[in-house]
Structure 1
Amino acid sequence: MTDHNGVGAVRPLTLAWVGRYLEADERVVRSEVLHGGVTAEMRRLTIGTRDGGTRELVLRSFVDPFFLGYAEDLLDREAGALTLLAGTAVAAPGLVAVDPVAARCEYPSLLMTHLAGRTVLDDEGLEERVPLLARQLVAIHAVRVAERPRDYVALTTADTVVTPRGADTAVWAAAIDVIRKPAPPYAGRFLHRDFHPGNVLFDVAPSGPAGARITGVVDWAGASWGPADLDVAHCSTNLALLHGPAWGLRFAEAYEQAGGVLAAVASERLYWQVRDALAFSEEVGLASQPWREAGRAELTTRAVEMRLDAYVTVLMDTPS
């Protein structure tokens, strides 16, 4: 989803910084706000080229005071991931420039190429998209790195979980006890760390979902090293909240069917599934806001909270 803005909406220092990375006689002729992100302001910049045509870039800027303290780390992670992914089988934006400490911009910023496609969050066509998502995540985890990125961040603790009102407190207490234990051993993989339908771009024909294909994966600011189970668990939770708990379980199955390898022991899988699901309890409203902006108005904070409760209950009821 976009809002149309003039070039003047891009702050002067940042606009000048972008200009340093354009070709001679190129200039920014249009700016559009891209909705869907949570931590940063995203803009699509239309660049007028010397031959009279146009091309597009994407500008990420950290402007929210709450996230400014994380900007340098997140932008360094993203710049490193985009550099790593260049030339691999994973379609990701190309890095153009980064200013993680706002040395030349008003705010910490990253400039990257624009990928074709759009996010798809509707229930329609989900049966076709889930295997595509699974295969894409397997490809990400297959990326080999010369230098490991930083280790994953867990995002929640047993003491910060927020039990939804009306939830079965005994079930949630049992779930919280699961993540009180030490993390299981794992074989490390390159992780996206925020892989979910909102960060995957699709080419979908107007006539319907048949023949849909993934055109790229965006938002690599959380790129990390850790267990494949954690990336799978994160996408599973998102699918459960977007489309219902059963889809969270189905994604793990699709990942294995696509050749991905998860923890062999059920209790270890449960640890990662529960850890990610419980992390959502602290930010249900924030996480669901982009979905409502994208047209899923029925996914109110309360509705998503209830789906999260249902998903945690299903996880805890699954035989180990």
Structure 2
Amino acid sequence: MTIHDDEASVPPSTLAWVGRHLEPGERIVGIEVLRGGITARMRRMTVGRPDGGTRALVLRSFVDPSYLGHAEDWLNREADALSLLARTSVPAPGLVAFDPTAAHCEYPSLLMTHLAGRSVLHDEGAQTRVLLLARQLVAIHAVRPAERPRQYVTLTTADTVVTPKGADAAAWAAAIDVIRRPAPPCAGRFLHRDFQPGNVLFDVASPASAGARITGVVDWAGTSWGPADLDVAHCATNLALLHGPAWGPRFTQAYEEAGGELAAAASERLYWHVRDALACSEEVRAVARPWREAGRTDLTTRVVEQRLVAYVAALMDASG
């Protein structure tokens, strides 16, 4: 067995559990860490087949004590989502097995198929990818589950927002006042809840390739039921921090042009966009780190923070 990283080491109980879900004659021949995640440890497991070929699976394990309290809920939701999406055109991993309470594994875990492609975070080719992201999100919101997932939750409040150093105090105070209001009424949709470039895989020859296509959408642990604006706002914020503040509104426009429906009132749209942007103020460091690990070494915590400040200011300026 080839192990490329100390973090790729898998506890014996978990390896035994994975082994019980392989096909007869298959065995694990390699394990490597997949970088870029925040809440869980991800490993790619190469499985040797009796005919000499290989296939790949992905093991998602919640090892950080900070997230263990959420693991059972998140893994159950992800398993439900993957089972549902297997009957749709949305390119999601196939569910192999899951152990949400760590009854068999060292940590709460989920085993799924590995999808081809990779996340692309570079600025080159962003325009093409933004259009693809918008179309994909419209398709996700079109999914109609027989049983709705849990209602969405938003943890950020006016009291938990962290105003960055150097931010326009008046603009941020006005933005915070926006989320003091009750959430606008909305028509519910099937939500991913963390739809952003880091959770979308592309088949691209190079970052600037015009022939890019989406091969998969991953990390369905936050699947919820709520307003389409919430998913759109989240992706818009991430694009604004990755590529610059102007990319947030561009994504929102692309989503509508792709057939997506958002709140009719500008004040309601502003609510969701501001709420998601302010949520990032509490975790700028956590957001920036996996992007740097994925190759965007220019995205220091300070750079991401400055882009967030500019994006919030742009949202408030556009609202008049």
Q: Which amino acid aligns with 1:108?
A: P
Cα distance, 1:87 vs structure 2: 2.0
Flag structure 1 segments of 5+ consecutive residues without an equivalent: none
- Matched with 2:68 is 68
Asked if 1:165 corresponds to 2:150, the answer is no
- Matched with 2:111 is 111
- Matched with 1:224 is 224
Q: Which amino acid aligns with 1:257?
A: E
- Matched with 2:204 is 204
Which has the higher mean CA deviation after the structures are superposed, 106-115 or 202-211? 202-211
- Matched with 1:184 is 184
- Matched with 1:33 is 33
1:7/1:30 contact within 8 Å kept: no
Q: Deviations over 1:87-109 (max 9, x none)?
A: 20100000000000000000000
Cα distance in 2, alignment partners of residues 243 and 29 from structure 1: 38
Instruction: Please provide the CA RMSD for this pair.
Output: 1.3
SS in 1 for 2:282: coil
1:91/1:217 contact within 8 Å kept: yes
Which has the higher mean CA deviation after the structures are superposed, 253-262 or 203-212? 203-212
Which residues of 2 match residues 136-175 of structure 1 at below 5 A? 136-175=136-175
Cα distance in 2, alignment partners of residues 268 and 7 from structure 1: 44
Cα distance in 1, alignment partners of residues 210 and 249 from structure 2: 23
Cα distance in 2, alignment partners of residues 230 and 222 from structure 1: 12
In the superposition, relative to structure 1, how do residues 207 and 295 fare at CA in structure 2: closer, same or farther (>3 Å)?
closer
Cα distance, 1:187 vs structure 2: 0.3
- Matched with 1:283 is 283
Which residues of 2 match residues 189-268 of structure 1 at below 5 A? 189-206=189-206, 208-268=208-268
- Matched with 1:91 is 91
1:75/1:110 contact within 8 Å kept: yes
In the superposition, relative to structure 1, how do residues 7 and 229 fare at CA in structure 2: closer, same or farther (>3 Å)?
closer
Cα distance in 1, alignment partners of residues 8 and 250 from structure 2: 46
Cα distance in 1, alignment partners of residues 109 and 127 from structure 2: 37
In the superposition, relative to structure 1, how do residues 7 and 47 fare at CA in structure 2: closer, same or farther (>3 Å)?
farther
User: Where do 4+ consecutive residues of structure 1 move more than 3 Å?
Assistant: 5-8
- Matched with 1:56 is 56
SS in 2 for 1:235: helix
Q: Deviations over 1:99-150 (max 9, x none)?
A: 0000000000000000000000000001111100000000000001100000
Cα distance, 1:6 vs structure 2: 8.1
TM-score w.r.t. structure 2 length? 0.97
In the superposition, relative to structure 1, how do residues 51 and 34 fare at CA in structure 2: closer, same or farther (>3 Å)?
same
Q: Deviations over 1:281-319 (max 9, x none)?
A: 000000111100011111111111110000000000003
Cα distance in 1, alignment partners of residues 155 and 289 from structure 2: 19
Q: Deviations over 1:33-89 (max 9, x none)?
A: 000000000000000111111000000000001011110011011001101101201
In the superposition, relative to structure 1, how do residues 6 and 286 fare at CA in structure 2: closer, same or farther (>3 Å)?
closer
Cα distance in 1, alignment partners of residues 64 and 7 from structure 2: 21
Cα distance, 1:8 vs structure 2: 7.7
Identical-residue share of aligned pairs (%): 75
